[in-house]
Structure 1
Amino acid sequence: IEPLEIPEDAVDKATHPTNRQEDWEYIIGFCDQINKELEGPQIAVRLLVHKIHSQEWEALQALTVLEACMKNCGRRFHNEIARYRFLNELIKVVSPKVGGFSANRHD
């Protein structure tokens, strides 16, 4: 794996739709980049929100990246994730009332 210069590249590789499984080298590389950048947590949240709103497999991989960031990126990342803006984006993914999956069932 070649070194990645920007977080966008790492998260794209870590969540690529053709990945057959989680690519931990890129996931940890993304965490490392986020920890090095002054604006890393803000960049990470923006990128992860976009990926979480993607197709199912890409979104699931993004949640794995999010979990890795929670475990490896420290307080600055935690503070950014705890903001209303990010939490609201997660609600949009899971709530049918605000644009998430369709929950219409006819039993």
Structure 2
Amino acid sequence: MPSGEEEAARAFYEGLLGLREVPKPTHLAARGGCWFEGQGVKIHLGVEAEFRPARKAHPGLLVRDLSSLIERLEDAGFRTMIDEPLDGYDRRYVSDPFGNRLELMERR
């Protein structure tokens, strides 16, 4: 993530995705960034001076109630994208505030 964008990260990952922010270890906190956790998932966003978003490589997050999450994201201005079907899942892609790609998947 870009330097100084922790509030945007919190608004997206905590506010929209429902993950909770956890404190970074003291020796890493000075570097900036945010860590988030949810049931069975940990996402660590580190700061890069010459940040470039991950537009192809991405985490896949298993979610519940994908349709409500899509609505919440789109109401907040985040466009979700449909891709080719994947057996057993409904899914969408979304980019975080920094352009990093995330796959949101719900089991059928």
Indicate the structure whose relative CO is greater, using CA pairs within 8 Å and at least 6 residues apart.
2
Output the TM-score relative to the length of structure 1: 0.28
Output the TM-score relative to the length of structure 2: 0.28
Q: Compare the two structures and name the one with the higher helix fraction.
A: 1
